[in-house]
Amino acid sequence: MADTGDPLDLLDAEERAGLRPAAAGFVHPMLATLTADHFSDPGWIYERKLDGVRAVIVRDDAGTTLWSRSEKPMTGTYPEIAEALGRGPALVADGEIVAFDGPQTSFSTLQARLGLHDPDRARATGVEVFGYLFDVMVVSGRDVTGLPLRTRKRLLRAAVDFTDPIRFSAHRNTDGEAYLAEACARGWEGLIAKRADARYLPGKRSEDWLKFKCVREQEFVVGGWTDPTGSRQGFGALLVGVYDGDGLRYAGKVGTGFDGHVLHDLRARFDGLAADRSPFADAVREKGAHWLRPELVAQLGFTEWTRDARLRHPRYLGLRDDKDPRDVVREEPRS
């Protein structure tokens, strides 16, 4: 249960003296950097990387609202999360909304809620969702981003009633390598390593937060599609790319990960996005190609990048509506 008093009472006089009034509303979330350098360190904590949708929670006198990382409203998409967070001190918190497929968080399962903003329709999908919170940026009208991560986590625990469907994102201290091995053995996506004394940097991608991944996965912009062959309906494959400067660079085609419903749903979207010319900066020589305005963002899993900057064994996981296509770039591990 959340503390009934002011969470800021947990701070000592020096910590309180450093706080400043917070601007009202949304705070752009801090972002992590992908790395291939996996390590253990007593100055770091390690959290499970969840396969869901990033959420910024704003709770004030007007109620609780949910926002995507790109500041799109999600309160109607996940009404049970907003309702469960409806009581307590004013805050802005950071977290992830997930659905499960067995013991695994599943972005594909969460797809049934994508684009729904009517609470009744969202609930009618039957997809049970949970909100995992891992950080807080504003508490009781004060900006706490300058405080160390461990301190912010103490404030978060005091400010929120962690009863399902709201969960505190647990972490481990020090031993990142052993925890990563356990995470990969359990089939998790990976871990997020965070410097324990770091401040929160709104809207910044920082090396104070690092992604340790068990599998390769990221967003890609959909720039076209190919004709279906054989008994396949809808389309054959998606043609995808990432931005490099001002140009959309072709990264390959993905033809797996679709069921009949997804094939039909995506094909229905294509007519409204049809384009006469390829959106890719480089030549794409795929048979039966059709072009689209680069407005859809797809989450893909893959084994690796090839030397000619193409995806090896890509598979479709779902669409994202929480990221601007222009922000989709190739993610390279920090070495």
Question: What are the residue numbers of the active site?
Answer: 49
Burial 96-121 (b: 16+ CB within 10 A, else e): bbbbbeeeebbbbbbbbbbebeebee
Q: Which residues, other chains included, contact 197 with Cβ-Cβ below 8 Å and sequence gap of 6+?
A: 43, 148, 149, 150
Q: Reading across the β-sheet that carries 205-213, which strands appear in turn? A: 31-34, 205-213, 190-195, 41-48, 171-174
CB atoms within 10 A of CB 17: 8
* Distance, CA of 119 to CA of 125 (rounded, Å): 10
Two structure tokens written together for 195: 């410097």
CA dihedral 33, 36, 38, 42 (to 10 degrees): -30
* Distance, CA of 247 to CA of 309 (rounded, Å): 14
Quick check: 104 and 188 in contact, CB under 8 A?
A: yes
Quick check: 71 and 26 in contact, CB under 8 A?
A: yes
Longest dimension (CA), the chain: 71
